[in-house]
Structure 1
Amino acid sequence: MITLTDKAAVKVKQLLESENATDLALRVAVRPGGCSGYSYEMFFDGEFAADDVVKTFGEV
């Protein structure tokens, strides 16, 4: 499970607004690779898959 602190949610909102991209979402992805066998990524994404888990934190 992923959670965002209130401070992190405010920062994500600020970043989205500064890019004028309020229609995007923060995606957290886990991919094979890296030293422990997994690589973790965070990026803004506008495409949503049917099996995505969507959570709201604060205003994001």
Structure 2
Amino acid sequence: MLMFGLVAAGLIVIPMGFQFLAVLGGKALLLAKLALILTSIQGLKKIATSNVNYGLYSTGHAAP
């Protein structure tokens, strides 16, 4: 009877553990996406406000 109880508890607890890991992984993925978006915005803002020419536009001079 004890063995049956352990097996029955295992059949309930193990899927709950996998579901918890899936939810935790999903939250980590969303947090990573948010971090990527925020760093992209910060980097683009830094490029836009600097006076350095990265060769993204033409100044009207012909190449030698």
The two structures have a TM-score, normalised by structure 2, of: 0.26
Per chain length, whose mean CA-contact separation is higher, i.e. which structure has more relative contact order (CA < 8 Å, sep 6+)?
1
Higher helix share: 2
Higher strand share: 1
The two structures have a TM-score, normalised by structure 1, of: 0.27
